[in-house]
Amino acid sequence: MSSSYDYLFKIVVLGEGAVGKTAIVTRFSHGFFRTDYKTTIGSQFAVKNVNIPRDAGDVTVKLQIWDVAGQSRFQILRPMYYRGSSGGLLVYDVTRRRTFIVLEEWLEELHKALNKEIPLVLVANKTDLPDRVVEPLEGRDFADRHGMPYIESSAKTGEGIIDIFSELAEILVVTREKGGNY
Looking at 5, 6, 7, 22, which residue binds ligand G3D (CB under 6 A)? 22
Distance CA 131, CA 154 (A): 14
177, burial (CB in 10 Å: exposed 0-12, middle 13-18, buried 19+)? exposed
Q: Position 96: which residue type?
A: R
Residue 96 in the binding site for ligand G3D (CB under 6 A): no
String marking each residue 117-136 x if it binds ligand G3D according to CB under 6 A: --------xx-xx-------
Distance CA 140, CA 135 (A): 9
String marking each residue 15-54 x if it binds Mg ion according to CB under 5 A: ------xx--------------------------------
Number of residues that bind ligand G3D (CB under 6 A): 16
Among 109, 38, 92, 29, which residue's Cα sits nearest to residue 63?
Answer: 29
Binding site for Mg ion (CB under 5 A): 21-22
Which residues form the interface with ligand G3D (CB under 6 A)?
15, 17-23, 70, 125-126, 128-129, 154-156
